[in-house]
Amino acid sequence: MLDIKGLQVELADGGKPILKGVDLTVEPGTVHAIMGPNGSGKSTLSYVLAGREGYAVTGGAATLDGADLLAMEPEARAAAGLFLAFQYPVEIPGVGNMTFLRTALNAQRKARGEGEISAGDFLKLVRAKAGALRIDADMMKRPINVGFSGGEKKRNEILQMAVLEPRMCILDETDSGLDVDAMKLVAEGVNALRDAGRGFLVITHYQRLLDHIRPDVVHIMADGRIVRAGGPELALEVETNGYAGLLREVA
């Protein structure tokens, strides 16, 4: 599904190297978690895969279902099935949640050669998805993320993911700033989407999220590279002992 080989990235305006040869493969039906110290390149990896400006790819490759992600515009990556949930979702005044969701869904349906979803069918779909995430009707009537709490913004990101049903879901520190109850709701939304045809890449600082989203593989990232991989027990090791000892082992 997602195949990253030797990916090297630097800042477009200053030439500072950030990713220094990332190798990572996410198979359909699997959940991979990435942990690592601040500044290790975790969020940069998610931004580059999604097509954010400000970065220059200097080496390596990234493909989704065999298609060259790095050659696509951001909207083409989304149409191909890539979704990024942001660490800090932005507010978009003047654009209603429902309008945004229906426009995004129909754009993706059009890219797949499908007809537009009717207003009635869309309303049924959103109500069902929002209900599972405990998003009330008032939130759906407001502009995107305007006046939302941190937890509401993150739940809104997961709602977008649930409606669009992407093939490859990337969560960039979605647990950041969430209390325990909000984290459980976000995790439930993610787990509800897990199936044999969908992959997840979950970037997090905290093992506690992984208590609710049981990953198949945990990767440790440092200095722009994946330096170690293992099962969920690796996240527990980080939670108990921190990164220092683990990074000394691979130095």
Instruction: Spell out the domain ranges in the chain.
Output: 2-250
User: Confidence class of residue 173 from pLDDT cuts 50, 70 and 90?
Assistant: confident
Q: How much of the chain, in percent, has pLDDT values that exceed 70?
A: 99
Bridge partners of residue 34, in order along the sequence: 203, 219
What's the CATH superfamily of 2-250? P-loop containing nucleotide triphosphate hydrolases (3.40.50.300)
Q: Residues 224-241: pLDDT tens digits? A: 999 999 999 998 888 888
Q: Residues 106-134: pLDDT tens digits? A: 998 998 889 999 999 999 999 888 887 77
pLDDT of residue 152: 84
Q: How much of the chain, in percent, has pLDDT values that exceed 90?
A: 57
Q: Please, is 219 exposed, middle or buried when counting C-beta atoms within 10 Å of its C-beta (0-12, 13-18, 19+)?
A: buried
Residues with Cβ < 8 Å from 120, sequence gap 6 or more? none
